[in-house]
Amino acid sequence: MAEQDPRSTDHLEQAGEMVWEAMQTLERAQRVLFRAGDCYVAQVWGDGVRGVIEIGERITELSGDLMSVHIEIGRLAKRDPGPDGPPSA
């Protein structure tokens, strides 16, 4: 069995933070997108509103996917004992 990189937990933590930041960025983008949708509704009902709704739904799906990735990274980090712990099975 290959020897584990003693800094794997550091890499996992960094990856988890990056995914979390991506989720936060998507949330902010969604709020801005909804403001664009409000502008479309205030100005004229049309394809713009439908487009905003569809993009908002895609962002929601992406956020769900990112949350799943974030959870899996957390699971990996828990399984990884780090440099001082016993090797995992």
**How confident is the model at residue 1, as a pLDDT?**
45
Contact partners, residue 69, CB within 8 Å, separation at least 6: 19
Token couple for 10: 């550091």
pLDDT of residue 84 exceeding 90, the answer is no
51 — pLDDT class (breaks 50, 70, 90): confident
Q: Structure pTM? A: 0.71
Token couple for 26: 């998507």
Residue 79, CA atoms < 13 Å, CB-side half-sphere: 9
Contact partners, residue 59, CB within 8 Å, separation at least 6: 26, 29, 30, 33
40 — pLDDT class (breaks 50, 70, 90): confident
Instruction: Please give the Cα distance from 76 to 8 (Å, whole number).
Output: 10
